[in-house]
Chain A
Amino acid sequence: MNMNCEKAQATIQERIDGHLMDGRELAAMERHLESCAACRRFQVDMVELHDGLAALPELELPDEALEEVWDRTVRRSSGTVPGRWRWMAAAAAVLTVAMAGSWFGLLDREPEYSPDEIARATVEARAALGMAGQALQRSQTVAMEEVLGGQVTPALEKITIGLP
């Protein structure tokens, strides 16, 4: 089997791309390369070009462009926030739960409150804890707003105001 330069150069490229080749075809290419300096040069150049192209740097999408994508997708759709914001929302919810928990501690230590006041405070605290629990589950921007100043904090303030 004889091979001309055109066929040899196509075969060289197939081999660079990692395609399995027929043994006879490979042998014919090797024979051609032994006698053809131009195709030997072509092979060296193609390998270097292949390596050079594979080593081209990534072109990073700017952060502000990515933020716009989040704004127009996950944030717009369901209030979900990626990465660190999710953790901030969860942390805020945990903080709220801890604050409510400290109220129960106070209640344990202050037995002079009337049964009605304690019952009212318990209801309010449960409501606040419920909201905080939901906020933690959703891990969303909306949830974070609720925790940090929308609904949960006023509910806790109501407990404070309601108690002597």
Chain B
Amino acid sequence: MDTDTYQDLVVRHKNLVHGYAYRMLGNREDARDVAQEVLIRLWENREKVIPDSSKAWLLRTTYRLCVDRTRRKKVRSEVFGDTVLEPVADVTPGPEKLSTAGELGRAIEAALGRLRKEDRTVVLLREVHQTSYEEIARILSQPLGTVKARLHRARIRLRRELVEAGVTP
């Protein structure tokens, strides 16, 4: 892809990448780092990435970098005794975004943060980023049946989290 196409893709997808990373990691600084890294990798791989499938490439790369980062933090916490980040306790988006999110949105964000990483990622990909089952299977390198079953279970868990928090979706 040429420079103009790259710039267009970055402008179009930067918030998607950042939002996915933030909701996966629950930390602004990490999300920002991962988003930047993903967008830079898109530049480095611009000869290989097909613009029409760039959204899937970006989500796949974001997912992998989030997993790497979580794993590194986990190892670090085991060595240095830091707090383990998983599951993320609170991915509330901050006051500037909350005003538009509403109470249900806020409750959903908090409940998402309490899901296990594996559950959270399928819900985010399917429901927030409107990714197809097939694409999710490719992103997560899992069979289609596994993705469907995981998504169904994750939604049920999310609903349970909301009910337990006193919020009926």
Contacts and interface: CB of A to CB of B under 8 A. Distances in A.
Nearest to A78: B3
Interface of A: 9-10, 13, 17, 42, 45-46, 48-50, 52-62, 65-66, 68-69, 72-74, 77-78, 80, 82-83
Interface stretch (B52-60, B63-71, B80-88, B101-109): B101-109
Interface string B72-109: 00000000000000000000010001001100110011
B137 to A, nearest CB: 14
A61 B158 contact: no
Given A61-B18, A66-B10, A72-B40, 15 more contacts: A10-B152, A13-B155, A17-B126, A17-B133, A46-B155, A48-B104, A48-B168, A49-B127, A52-B105, A54-B127, A55-B105, A58-B16, A59-B22, A61-B35, A65-B35
Contacts of B3: 74, 78, 80
Given A17-B126, A52-B169, A54-B128, A69 B36 contact: yes
A56 B35 CA distance: 19
A92 B45 CA distance: 33
Ranked nearest first, the 5 interchain pairs of A and B with the lowest CB-CB distance are A53-B127, A59-B19, A73-B43, A61-B18, A49-B169
Contact of A49 (B31, B130, B155): B155
Contact of A60 (B6, B18, B39, B152): B18
Contacts of B10: 66, 69
B156 interface: yes
A70 to B, nearest CB: 8
Interface residues of B, number: 42
B18 A45 contact: no
A123 to B, nearest CB: 34
Contacts, number: 96
30 contacts: A9-B152, A13-B151, A17-B133, A42-B159, A45-B159, A45-B169, A46-B159, A48-B168, A49-B108, A49-B127, A49-B159, A50-B127, A52-B104, A53-B128, A54-B127, A54-B128, A57-B97, A58-B19, A59-B15, A59-B93, A61-B32, A61-B35, A62-B32, A65-B18, A65-B32, A69-B10, A73-B39, A73-B43, A78-B3, A82-B7
Given A13-B155, A49-B162, A69-B36, A61 B43 contact: no
Contacts of B93: 57, 59
B15 A58 contact: yes
